[in-house]
Chains A and B, each alone.
Chain A
């Protein structure tokens, strides 16, 4: 009886802790089976690789091929989510084994500290959203009718409902489903998740608009690892800024290259 009470009180205390819940992930070199093989050959995965989460929202930027998606898959696998997108216990219908294997491989060599360890959440990749939606439809979920919406609309509504619960939400390039005005809606969703206090967001993006979210840790992933940056310092921002300065001149010059 006393034990039960204690448990209940303890659970209550845990739930009241604010995000971030996942505090740090790091590589345990002793658990790397083969340094030459993917994903361990990725340049950023040095022996001392470590990533600390200091705010509720962490945004990772980096060039294609640096391993952002693999890192997110590894974190998702650590949390117990399906590597192809979806939450714990949700397996997508046509998830790609290759993706799951890479995230799983990496997660086997990663260690994590949590406060507390939470298991609720979601791993979102734009390309797997429809398979997740189809799965929810198939099992008769209350979130089911998203297929009748376009990508952007459906997933904004989906996360509006999801973020009411404590969780770890991992987004891989959410902007690929969103027009600029929907990205503004997504910024509002980020603000709500931030203010609600029980949502941790880890996001990779190429969208300067999402990078500009003010109350987040912005990290740049390069072959040397992760380093803090600002939206104005990113190549994404600089390149697009140049484009908007002179769209036609910019494209002409790019085509001549």
Chain B
């Protein structure tokens, strides 16, 4: 038992390798959270490195379950683009936003 515990500890992260949806266990496809668009029948998420970072707009269900199918570079995220626009002209952007 002790030897086995030792061996487990020496394996490197990630330990959680993959998550997927078991549609047989879904009670109601129409009800939250199963109605979330990203939760298709074939939903799965593989963890390939020790650190996995998930980005997404509010309302995509990040906090409900993790979505991560599209591999991105930071420069490709809406978060980055919006903040880049802000730093380009902070006051101008804010004026444009609240002036609408």
Residue numbers of A with Cβ under 8 A of B are 148-153, 177-182, 184, 187-188, 190-191, 208-209, 212-214, 231-232, 237, 240-241, 244, 247
Do A180 and B79 have beta carbons less than 8 Å apart? yes
Residue numbers of B with Cβ under 8 A of A are 32, 56-64, 74-75, 78-80, 82-84, 86-87, 90-91, 93-95, 97-98, 100
Do A180 and B95 have beta carbons less than 8 Å apart? no
Partner of B63 from A150, A184, A231 at Cβ < 8 Å: A150
B58: chain A residues at CB < 8 Å are 150-153, 177-179, 182
A179: chain B residues at CB < 8 Å are 56-58, 78-79, 82
Do B83 and A180 have beta carbons less than 8 Å apart? yes
A208: chain B residues at CB < 8 Å are 86-87, 90
Partner of B97 from A178, A184, A232 at Cβ < 8 Å: A184
Do A214 and B87 have beta carbons less than 8 Å apart? no
Partner of A184 from B61, B64, B82 at Cβ < 8 Å: B82
A237: chain B residues at CB < 8 Å are 90
A151: chain B residues at CB < 8 Å are 58, 63
Do B98 and A213 have beta carbons less than 8 Å apart? yes
Do B57 and A191 have beta carbons less than 8 Å apart? no
Known contacts A244-B84, A244-B87, A190 near B59 by CB under 8 Å: no
Do B94 and A212 have beta carbons less than 8 Å apart? yes
Q: Can you spell out 22 A-B residue pairs with CB atoms less than 8 angstroms apart?
A: A148-B32, A150-B58, A150-B63, A151-B58, A152-B58, A177-B58, A178-B58, A179-B58, A179-B82, A180-B86, A182-B57, A182-B58, A187-B94, A187-B97, A187-B98, A208-B86, A208-B90, A209-B83, A213-B98, A214-B95, A214-B98, A244-B84
Known contacts A149-B59, A152-B58, A179-B78, A240 near B98 by CB under 8 Å: no
Instruction: Tell me the smallest distance from the CB of B60 to a CB of chain A, in Å.
Output: 7
CA distance A231 to B95 in the complex (A): 14
Instruction: Tell me the smallest distance from the CB of B10 to a CB of chain A, in Å.
Output: 26
Contacts A212-B90, A214-B98, A240-B87 known; list 13 others, CB within 8 Å: A150-B60, A150-B63, A150-B64, A151-B58, A179-B57, A180-B82, A181-B82, A188-B98, A188-B100, A190-B98, A191-B98, A208-B86, A213-B98
CA distance A214 to B98 in the complex (A): 10
B94: chain A residues at CB < 8 Å are 187, 209, 212-214
**CB-based nearest A residue for B98:** A191
CA distance A177 to B83 in the complex (A): 16
B97: chain A residues at CB < 8 Å are 184, 187-188
